Structure 1
Amino acid sequence: MPERRSGLPPGVTTTAAPTRASVGLRSDRGPILGSVMIAIALIAIDATILATAVPAIVRDLGGFTQFPWMFSAYLLTQAISTPIYGKLADNFGRKPLMLFGIGTFVLGSVLCAVAWSMGALIAFRALQGLGAGAIQPAGMTIMGDIYSVAERAVAQGYIASVWAMSAVIGPTLGGFFSDHLSWRWIFWINVPLGLLAAAVLWVRFDEKASLADHHERRPIDWTGAFLVAAAAALLLLGLLEGGIRWPWWSWQSAAALGGAALLAILFVGVERRAADPVLPGWLFRHRVLNAAMVAGFIAGVVMLGVTSYIPVYAQQVLGAGATVAGFAVAALAIGWPIAASTSGRVYLRCGFKSCLFLGSAFGAIGAGILTLVGPDSPIWLVAVACAVLGLGLGYVVSPSIVALQSAVEFRQRGVATGANMFARSVGSAVGVAAFGSIANAVVADRLGGAKAAGAVDLADLPAAVLDPALQTVFLAVAGCAFLLVLAALLMPSRVGPATSGTEATRE
């Protein structure tokens, strides 16, 4: 039976530390956490590591007009497969899905390293994305399985630090390999690290007894899985490419977004009749999960506005070098892990709702500071804004994941985590589309028409044009940051208990 610990907020209970029967010895959890961190670091770094290697890759393989798909193919397949993998993790276990994801990612890396053309490289990047789509939800679900509510904040802090540092390490490492070795080493380095993570997980993570307690073999909803993947693919394709490869008001956008809507309607109809739907309807009626998904969606939007446009603003308007601009954005990587690792003290003492309110306050303050930045501002002001905004996201995103994992049963934790990861991916795509449209609209107005603006890259614009365009984006980021309050309002004051028999933690 779960015991109530002193210092926990009303409605929060937890069991003792995980037992040997469910997750292995307590001493096993450190190596398991380490293997999950390595695997997540690989997929996080590979999302950005190619940015500085593009010139070398194009010189070697050609296909300059195709190279953006190196990024899009990876992110697209990762995003559309995440909710499906989350469901499969509940059906077949987290360990098999994690090992499958690492294996697929390593295989994709080997194929990328020997790619003979840009088309082949893009196809193999898509395969990498399919592996990454399994690693993220399975890894985060494992953290929810092996750590108690009180311990998850520290574990989430480690995971958050991995994502934050990867955003800085990725481009730097890609440039180093391209300049001193070969761009192909970007992919070869994944092989030993991926095999190490898989070996540690294979040896140290034992979930057989836990699966015996919670697992029941259920039919796989293949029709629903296909429909949700296809709908998500068209949606993300329309959002990522609209306004870039084709105009928003074009038949391509109408086909992509309209097709996504049609498939989504078909998906809802199929899921109502499915014996075990891939995205059960209760996900969207659960207050804790709704709050967590709203938080993830808004965080995805805000993150894109910060990481995509602040480096351009710092270099083109403030006159900072690329390294200094990178360090300014890296301040986000300082605030987020600090908040994630200390958030446990807040939600254990005051509850998840109060923690989300604290995060939304920091987010609003950080985004507000960002709106004060102008052409004469010092670069440290940008760094301060990023650091405070990072604190806000850390106090919102990580506690939201802990809350949703604690509010559902063991056999529902994978699909809930996958849905949250998917919401963040969709938020990122919406952020790309929305902020790009805002910036382009201001540029078009300054240059005297959309046609004039369409042929110019943002980074090539003069400061007098770029400054108002990106300041408008920063205002939009601030508006989105204020919307984090919605996530706090949706979170119930008391997080109800998950009612599984021997799971490591309950609320």
Structure 2
Amino acid sequence: MVPRVEPPEAPAPAGASAPHAAGERGMRRGVVLAFLMLTAALAAVEGTIVATAMPSVVASLGGFEYYSWVFAAYLLSQAVATPIFGRLADLYGRKPVLLWGIGAFLAASVACGFATSMPMLVAFRLLQGLGAGSTMTIVSTLAGDLYDVHERGRVQAYLSSVWGVSAVLGPLLGGALVERAHWAWVFWFNVPIGIVAILGLRAFLHERVQRREAQLDLASAGLLFLAIGSVMLVFTQGAAWGALPAGALLALGLATGTLFFRRQVRVTEPLISSETWNDRLLLLANVLTFAAGGLMIGLITYSPTYVQGVMGYSPTVAGLTLTAMSLGWTLASVAAGRLVVPLGPALTGRLGGAFALLGGLLYLLLTPARGPWWVALASLVVGFGMGFIMTTTIVTIQSSVAWQRRGTATATNMLMRILGNSVGAALLGGVLNLALGRAARALPGGGADALARIEASLTPGAGATVDETLLQLLAGGLHAVYVGVFVIGLLVFLLSLLLPRGRRLA
């Protein structure tokens, strides 16, 4: 049976075939948005809560050599699933794909809690990432369906606030569950939230899908899986596996990626529409998102390490300095939502680029004597940049394509952010390792145990201390990372200057 349609409060944007997903006027649409935000919270909290529990997980299951795979498997499957589920939502409707994704995420979460070994946990995290790739994509796509261009910025700000709150509550909740219950509840607590989201969306979200003679291009999906999977493995595991396996994976990724894009030009129903890359504005929006993703992961990964390891503050203080980025992101998203239509995406994008550059400069000027307030200020400014950039790009992309391509276009933008996170983490991690390695070799005896002592000092409860020489070594290595952060911020600013000024959203 084809679900009934309820017209949205505002007309569909130009180019859309019809209002395919909608809520009733006023309250009904707001109720749907509330359940969408609840759905977004599933993946948002999961992204921050697991790291807190991992020491307890390893102590219970063993298999420390699989530690990084718990995160890499989730990130890999999420990246691969994002564009595929975006296309499925365009073909078969948002609602069934979203409900399937939530169900898969919850089932995998339950299974993660029952894992009896690290390899088993990695396998279940792979399935969990598939569900997360679906929910993130479809939630944002539905926000574009339900609200017109004048309202999308505000709605995207609401969704951004979910990530901001989750960044604060996730680690706190994870620590409380591990300390007072069992690490398995880090995965199980999502289940009742997900069930409420499923029931609410089934009751209040109604859509009509125009049935078309089109199917998912499985060959393209397979090529995309190999391309993204290979490249993601290079960036997440390449350093551990060595040059030869990493080079082979990179070659496989490039080859299958080339075949994938060639196929997209030939097939009638491509997995990623060519208009995403042929339109200069959309192309630059995706490239800008990729660069901003690299900047964002640099701060999330290394700011707490600087505050805790170099400045000597507690993990709580280190986490609070990073919270400023979430606050700035949310505030800037609200502002960008109000400004992107009257000012145009070029100007709001440039505002984001300017904040990103300024934030990168503040990190470049960071010294231990400046204290955590400087880190919080730099994080806040970068958060302003992320809010303007991410809101501008997603609203621009969703307003520039028809309904039949909105899921695919949204998924492509999210994929670029995920890839930017992965590439940024790998590049900045390489910079840190290179800087620390060079500095350690200059120490007496070659600094054979220097890195191990630094790592021990960053482990909560380990009771390890480091002398002034090692603190300077760590500070120098992280300063090299912040040089990279500044370069990425400069790149983001330069890319924002390329956005075409004549385009307006209508």
Say yes or no: TM over 0.5: yes
Alignment pair present for 1:404 and 2:412: no
| Residue equivalent to 2:423 | 430
Residues 326 and 288 (structure 1), Cα distance of their counterparts in 2 relative to 1, 3 Å cut: same
Q: Is the 8 A contact 1:304 1:431 kept in 2?
A: yes
Match 2:233 to one of 227, 230, 237: 237
Match 1:382 to one of 375, 396, 414: 375
| Residue equivalent to 2:356 | 363
| Residue equivalent to 1:456 | 451
Gaps spanning 5+ residues in structure 1: where?
6-12, 498-506
| Residue equivalent to 1:504 | none
| Residue equivalent to 1:485 | 493
| Residue equivalent to 2:410 | 417
Alignment pair present for 1:465 and 2:473: yes
Report the residue type matching 2:212 in the other structure: E
Give % identity.
37
Find the aligned partners of 1:262 and 1:472 in 2 and give their Cα distance.
33
Shift of 1:343: 1.1
Q: Is the 8 A contact 1:219 1:275 kept in 2?
A: no
Find the aligned partners of 2:493 and 2:370 in 1 and give their Cα distance.
29
Match 1:258 to one of 251, 255, 264: 251
Shift of 1:459: 3.7
Gaps spanning 5+ residues in structure 2: where?
1-9, 457-465
Residues 145 and 176 (structure 1), Cα distance of their counterparts in 2 relative to 1, 3 Å cut: same
| Residue equivalent to 1:503 | none
Alignment pair present for 1:328 and 2:336: no
Residues 453 and 328 (structure 1), Cα distance of their counterparts in 2 relative to 1, 3 Å cut: farther
Alignment pair present for 1:24 and 2:17: no
Q: Is the 8 A contact 1:312 1:459 kept in 2?
A: no
1:67-216 alignment, distance < 5 Å: 67-208=67-208, 211-212=209-210, 216=212
| Residue equivalent to 1:54 | 54
Alignment pair present for 1:293 and 2:286: yes
Shift of 1:363: 1.3
Report the residue type matching 1:412 in the other structure: R
Alignment pair present for 1:314 and 2:314: no
Shift of 1:51: 1.2
Q: Deviations over 1:203-236 (max 9, x none)?
A: 111111xx23xx5231221000110011100100
**SS of corresponding position for 2:124:** helix
Residues 411 and 21 (structure 1), Cα distance of their counterparts in 2 relative to 1, 3 Å cut: closer
Find the aligned partners of 1:156 and 1:454 in 2 and give their Cα distance.
47
Report the residue type matching 2:264 in the other structure: E
Find the aligned partners of 2:447 and 2:126 in 1 and give their Cα distance.
34
Find the aligned partners of 2:136 and 2:285 in 1 and give their Cα distance.
16
| Residue equivalent to 1:246 | 241
Find the aligned partners of 1:128 and 1:22 in 2 and give their Cα distance.
26
Q: Deviations over 1:107-144 (max 9, x none)?
A: 10111121122111111111110000111111100000
Alignment pair present for 1:284 and 2:277: yes
| Residue equivalent to 1:35 | 35
Find the aligned partners of 2:504 and 2:333 in 1 and give their Cα distance.
22
Shift of 1:31: 1.6
Query: Relative to structure 2, which stretch is displaced further, 229-238 or 450-459?
Result: 450-459
Q: Is the 8 A contact 2:86 2:137 kept in 1?
A: yes
Shift of 1:493: 2.5
Q: Is the 8 A contact 1:438 1:472 kept in 2?
A: yes
Q: Is the 8 A contact 1:44 1:163 kept in 2?
A: yes
Q: Is the 8 A contact 2:44 2:163 kept in 1?
A: yes
Q: Is the 8 A contact 1:290 1:490 kept in 2?
A: no
Find the aligned partners of 1:132 and 1:89 in 2 and give their Cα distance.
14
Q: Deviations over 1:396-426 (max 9, x none)?
A: 1111100100011111101100000111111
Alignment pair present for 1:351 and 2:344: yes
Query: Relative to structure 2, which stretch is displaced further, 256-265 or 418-427?
Result: 256-265
Find the aligned partners of 1:288 and 1:50 in 2 and give their Cα distance.
37
Alignment RMSD, CA only? 2.2
Q: TM-score, normalised by structure 2?
A: 0.90
Find the aligned partners of 2:96 and 2:292 in 1 and give their Cα distance.
29
| Residue equivalent to 1:227 | 223
Q: Deviations over 1:130-162 (max 9, x none)?
A: 000111111100000001212112111111111
Find the aligned partners of 1:335 and 1:447 in 2 and give their Cα distance.
37
Higher relative contact order, chain-length normalized (CA < 8 Å, sep 6+): 1
Alignment pair present for 1:45 and 2:41: no
Report the residue type matching 2:488 in the other structure: C
Find the aligned partners of 2:93 and 2:204 in 1 and give their Cα distance.
15
Match 1:272 to one of 240, 243, 265: 265
Q: Is the 8 A contact 1:355 1:396 kept in 2?
A: yes
Shift of 1:288: 2.4
**SS of corresponding position for 1:49:** helix
Find the aligned partners of 1:304 and 1:142 in 2 and give their Cα distance.
26
Q: Deviations over 1:432-462 (max 9, x none)?
A: 1110111111112111279967983564572
Q: Is the 8 A contact 1:318 1:377 kept in 2?
A: no
| Residue equivalent to 1:9 | none
Report the residue type matching 1:456 in the other structure: L
Residues 340 and 205 (structure 1), Cα distance of their counterparts in 2 relative to 1, 3 Å cut: same
Q: TM-score, normalised by structure 1?
A: 0.90
Residues 454 and 145 (structure 1), Cα distance of their counterparts in 2 relative to 1, 3 Å cut: farther
Find the aligned partners of 2:353 and 2:263 in 1 and give their Cα distance.
37
**SS of corresponding position for 1:192:** helix
Moved over 3 A (4+): 19-22, 449-455, 457-461, 494-497
**SS of corresponding position for 2:438:** helix
| Residue equivalent to 1:475 | 483
Q: Is the 8 A contact 2:84 2:221 kept in 1?
A: yes
Find the aligned partners of 1:177 and 1:127 in 2 and give their Cα distance.
23
Q: Is the 8 A contact 2:154 2:338 kept in 1?
A: no
Find the aligned partners of 1:297 and 1:233 in 2 and give their Cα distance.
17
Q: Give the total of aligned pairs.
A: 478
Find the aligned partners of 2:148 and 2:494 in 1 and give their Cα distance.
27
**SS of corresponding position for 2:47:** coil
Find the aligned partners of 2:418 and 2:233 in 1 and give their Cα distance.
12
**SS of corresponding position for 2:48:** coil
| Residue equivalent to 1:443 | 436
Find the aligned partners of 2:450 and 2:399 in 1 and give their Cα distance.
50
Residues 93 and 428 (structure 1), Cα distance of their counterparts in 2 relative to 1, 3 Å cut: same
Query: Relative to structure 2, which stretch is displaced further, 45-54 or 480-489?
Result: 480-489
Find the aligned partners of 1:217 and 1:112 in 2 and give their Cα distance.
38
